[in-house]
Amino acid sequence: MSTIELEERRKLELIEKIRGYLSKEFELEIGSFEAEFFIDFLAKEMGAGFYNQGLHDAQVIVSSKLEDISDAIYEIEKTVD
């Protein structure tokens, strides 16, 4: 599996969220550099689990929709004499 890469804009948003969270909850001030390394660590160590869960959730939705389509096709099927 390839490495999880975040768009630069999204990564900058996350850096500010992490810095804000740590400051508010723990009165801990960290720089953007440290926050970025933390994001990279989370992506490397936990990203695959979140990614796989997202794939699973999407698969459940797609399967449900395919079943609905299959039922709709069955309903419009014509009888053959």
As a whole number, mean pLDDT of residues 1-17 equals 91
- The closest alpha carbon to 39, from 9, 4, 11, 3, belongs to 11
Q: What residue spans define the domains of the chain? A: 8-76
Residue 14's contacts (CB-CB under 8 Å, 6 or more residues apart) are 6, 35, 39
13 pLDDT above the threshold of 80: yes
1 pLDDT above the threshold of 70: no
Q: Please state, rounded to an integer, the average pLDDT across all residues of the chain.
A: 95
Structure confidence by residue, pLDDT tens digits, 65-80 = 999 999 999 999 999 9
**CB-CB contact of 22 with 28 (8 Å):** yes
